[in-house]
Amino acid sequence: MPLIREWLVPVHFRFFCDSFASALLPKLQHAIYSSGKISSVGAQQMLLDVCYVKKLLTQVPTGTNAPPTGHAAKRYLKFVSSEAEKVEMLLKTLLSPYTPGSTSFVDTYNSLVADRSEANFVKVLDIKGIKKMDQALLLDAFRSRNVDTGPKVEIGTDDDTLSLSKIGSKFFQEGGDGASSTTFSRFFS
């Protein structure tokens, strides 16, 4: 990274840091969802690795252990922390104990992972290694506890990200100029 920092002007290096972090952490989460069964030891090691990657990503803008300064740097740190936290919570869910016949795993999943997609919940059950017969009980509990939670986005596919450019293009296709509150409310309704 020091070599890249030398080659780029500060604004471009900042863009590089943002792009690198926004590509790496979601890919890491996708890799976890795409993997097969992960043991508790494997999940613990992955959790340590994610914490280390998070630490490295927070050091990239300055190249030192000192936290970056400025408004843009604070936004970068907040972004890295929030994206890394998603991966950490997924791994902590995988580390949580499961007792056959109990639905407490659903409560753990709901409290740690913000995603309410049934498909992703099934993926977590598969990764945890829970048998299909036991998954039926957990799925029923998941469905009953997550009734009408809004739109569901399935993680683990390349088409699931909703970027600001997609939001902006939809907004401008509808003729929004940013000043009209009716266009703005029509976009979000």
Q: Which residues pair with 155 in a beta bridge?
A: 157
H runs (alpha helix) in the chain: 2-7, 10-34, 40-59, 71-95, 104-112, 118-128, 132-145, 164-173, 181-188
Within 13 Å and on the Cβ side, how many CA atoms surround 37? Answer: 6
Q: What angle do CA 131, 134, 136 make, to 5 degrees?
A: 115
Q: What is the pTM of this model?
A: 0.69
Phi-psi domain of 99 (left: phi exceeds 0; alpha: psi -120 through 50; beta: other): beta
DSSP state of 68: P
Q: What is the pLDDT of residue 64?
A: 59
Q: Where along the chain do its domains lie? A: 1-90, 101-150
- Give tens-digit pLDDT for 103-150: 899 999 999 988 888 998 999 999 999 999 989 999 999 999 887 555
Nearest to 131 by CA among 66, 37, 9: 37
pLDDT tens per residue, range 36-52: 899 999 999 999 999 99
pLDDT digits (tens, 9 = 90+) for 49-93: 999 999 988 887 766 566 666 776 788 889 999 999 999 999 999
**How many angstroms separate the CA atoms of 16 and 74, rounded?**
16
